[in-house]
């Protein structure tokens, strides 16, 4: 499963990076600013890259699980039908969670504007809504609750043997390369969106890049540290709680760059990630967390629909 997870993440970063790089090159060659009138093109290119990456990871996982492990794919990722009552419960839960998150946002020091807000305009909103409600929830649930969560639960239940750790070396190097691409993508995205990079964000990016380069050059160091930490946590005998918590944390961190690394906004997404993983654990089905995710995102866009009078009147600057 670790190979599938890393390949999926690498594919997402690679295709998204490639799409945004092509857009940045076109902007430089033709002398236009994507952030000042080409929002729709920017959204189309970015979402196309992300979708291509998700699809590549999904296809690789399908082939790997079906051929190498000789297991039915949908069974392996725990995609099981729910009873009508369960469907109604998770849809209602997703909607209620959205309302609770909005109320919590008024109590926390949320930033007045997030980097992703610049992409929400009357020209782009319908494309973003379709992607956010239909496409993104499925692929994100497949990655986080279909692959990462059960892998973490198994790890925290059984621990990690030294033989397994030695086999991680090429994977850690791959993860380091993935991190380098991710940092490069973030800086390129800031440039394309004409967003300023603060000193703190620049320092954080430099430290992340240094850590990724260490993983590339000296994979034994992070492997030893990870093995020690995982085995210590496995000794706590709380595999379900640890897997749910860490999967939620990773889910929030995945969206951190879209939120400008604002701690309050990231914290809320971590809590949403924990709720999604808890639904997956409670229902025993990936379908449960997927429906919850669709309801959550759909409720957000529905609230925005009414707040902007039918997606027509966004705040100044959009």
Higher pLDDT: 182 or 145? It is 145
Identify the residue with better confidence: 310 or 1: 310
247-258 tens-digit pLDDT: 999 999 888 877
Check whether residue 46 and residue 97 sit in a common domain.
Answer: no
Q: For 184-216, write each residue's pLDDT tens digit.
A: 777 776 666 566 666 766 777 788 888 888 888
Note whether residue 226 is domain-resident: no
49 falls within a domain: yes
Structure tokens at 126: 């319908």
Q: What is the pLDDT of residue 38?
A: 60
| Number of Cβ atoms within 10 Å of the Cβ of 79 | 17
pLDDT digits (tens, 9 = 90+) for 17-73: 777 777 777 766 766 555 545 667 778 777 888 888 888 888 888 888 877 667 788
For residues 226 and 152, the answer to whether their CB atoms sit within 8 Å is no
Q: Are residues 121 and 12 in the same domain?
A: no
Residues 115 and 55 in one domain: no
The Cα-based distances of 211 to 7, 64, 173, 228, 258 in angstroms read 20, 30, 11, 18, 21
Query: Which residue has 């750790």 as its token pair?
Result: 165
> What's the count of helices (H) and strands (E) in the chain, helices before strands?
14, 0
The residue from 27, 46, 76 where one domain ends is 76
For residues 72-77, average pLDDT: 88
CA atoms within 13 A on the CB side of 128: 22
Residue 175 inside a domain? The answer is no
How confident is the model at residue 57, as a pLDDT?
85
- The total number of structural domains that make up the chain: 2
For the CA atoms of 284, 290, 293, 299, what is the dihedral angle to 10 degrees? -120
Same domain, 70 and 101: no
What gap in Å lies between CA 271 and CA 249, rounded to an integer? 8
Indicate whether 126 pLDDT > 70.
yes
- The pTM of the full predicted model, rounded to 2 decimals, is 0.81
Q: What is each CA distance from 59 to 18, 47, 289, in whole angstroms?
A: 19, 18, 21
Question: Tokens 């990079």 — which residue?
Answer: 197
pLDDT at 317 over 80: no
Query: Which residue range(s) make up the domain with 5?
Result: 1-76
Angle at 118 between CA 115 and CA 120, to 5 degrees: 120
Least confident of 23-27, 82-86, 178-182, 266-270: 23-27
What is the reported pLDDT for 219? 83
If one counts every other C-beta atom within 10 angstroms of the C-beta of residue 52, the result is 17
Query: Are 315 and 254 contained in the same domain?
Result: yes
Residue 189 placed within a domain: no
């Amino acid at each position: 499963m670790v190979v599938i997870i890393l390949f999926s993440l690498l594919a997402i970063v690679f295709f998204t990076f490639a799409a945004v790089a092509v857009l940045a090159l076109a902007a430089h060659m033709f002398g236009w600013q994507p952030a000042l009138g080409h929002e729709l093109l920017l959204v189309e290119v970015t979402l196309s890259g992300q979708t291509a990456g998700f699809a590549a990871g999904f296809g690789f996982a399908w082939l790997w699980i079906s051929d190498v492990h000789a297991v039915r794919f949908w069974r392996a990722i725990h995609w099981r039908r729910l009873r009508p009552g369960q469907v109604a419960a998770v849809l209602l839960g997703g909607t209620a969670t959205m309302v609770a998150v909005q109320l919590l946002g008024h109590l926390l020091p949320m930033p007045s504007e997030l980097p992703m807000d610049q992409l929400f305009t009357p020209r782009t909103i319908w494309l973003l809504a379709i992607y956010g409600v239909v496409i993104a929830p499925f692929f994100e649930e497949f990655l986080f609750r279909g692959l990462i969560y059960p892998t973490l639960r198994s790890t925290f239940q059984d621990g990690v043997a030294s033989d397994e750790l030695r086999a991680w070396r090429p994977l850690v190097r791959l993860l380091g390369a993935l991190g380098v691409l991710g940092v490069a993508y973030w800086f390129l995205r800031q440039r394309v969106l004409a967003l300023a990079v603060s000193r703190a964000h620049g320092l954080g990016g430099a430290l992340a890049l240094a850590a990724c380069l260490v993983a590339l050059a000296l994979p034994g160091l992070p492997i030893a540290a990870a093995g020690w930490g995982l085995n210590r946590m496995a000794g706590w005998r709380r595999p379900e709680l640890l897997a749910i918590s860490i999967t939620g944390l990773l889910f929030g961190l995945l969206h951190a760059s879209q939120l400008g690394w604002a701690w309050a906004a990231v914290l809320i997404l971590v809590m949403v990630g924990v709720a999604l993983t808890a639904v997956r654990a409670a229902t025993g089905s990936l379908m449960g967390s997927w429906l919850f995710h669709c309801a959550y995102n759909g409720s957000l866009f529905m609230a925005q629909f009414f707040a902007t009078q039918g997606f027509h009147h966004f705040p100044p600057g959009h």
